[in-house]
Amino acid sequence: MTNFSRPSGRAPDALRPVTIERHYTRHAEGSVLVSFGDTRVLCTASVEEKVPGFLRGKGEGWITAEYGMLPRATATRTQREAARGGQGGRTMEIQRLIGRSLRACVDRNLLGDRTITLDCDVLQADGGTRTAAITGAYVAMVDAVAGLKARKLISKDPIFGAIAAVSVGVYRGVPVLDLDYPEDSACDTDMNVVMNEGGGFIELQGTAEGHAFRRDELDALLALAEKGMVELFAKQREALAR
129 marked among binding-site residues: yes
Q: Tell which residue, 1, 37, 13, has the closest CA to residue 180.
A: 37
Site string for a second copy, 48-87 (x = CB under 8 A): x-----------------x-x-xxxxxxxx--xxxxxxxx
Q: Is 96 in the site for a second copy (CB under 8 A)?
A: yes
Residue from 89, 150, 241, 242 binding a second copy (CB under 8 A): 89
Q: Is 88 in the site for a second copy (CB under 8 A)?
A: yes
Question: Which residues in 154-200 belong to E strands, given as ranges?
Answer: 163-171, 174-177, 189-196
100 marked among binding-site residues: no
Q: Is 144 in the site for a second copy (CB under 8 A)?
A: no
Pairing of strands 174-177, 115-124: unpaired
Q: Is 211 in the site for a second copy (CB under 8 A)?
A: yes
Q: Tell which residue, 47, 48, 44, has the closest CA to residue 33.
A: 44
> Using CA of residue 240, residue 161, residue 29, residue 97, what is the dihedral sign?
positive
How many other C-beta atoms are found inside a 10 Å radius of the C-beta of residue 217?
20
> Which residue stretch of 129-137, 148-156, 196-204, 227-235 sits at the interface with a second copy (rule: CB under 8 A)?
196-204
Nearest to a second copy of 144, 239 (CB atom): 144
DSSP 207: E
- As a whole number of angstroms, the distance between CA 68 and CA 120 comes to 6
List residues binding a second copy (CB under 8 A).
Answer: 25-28, 31, 38, 40, 42, 44, 46, 48, 66, 68, 70-77, 80-93, 95-96, 100, 104, 117, 119, 121, 123-125, 191, 195-196, 198-209, 211-215, 218, 222
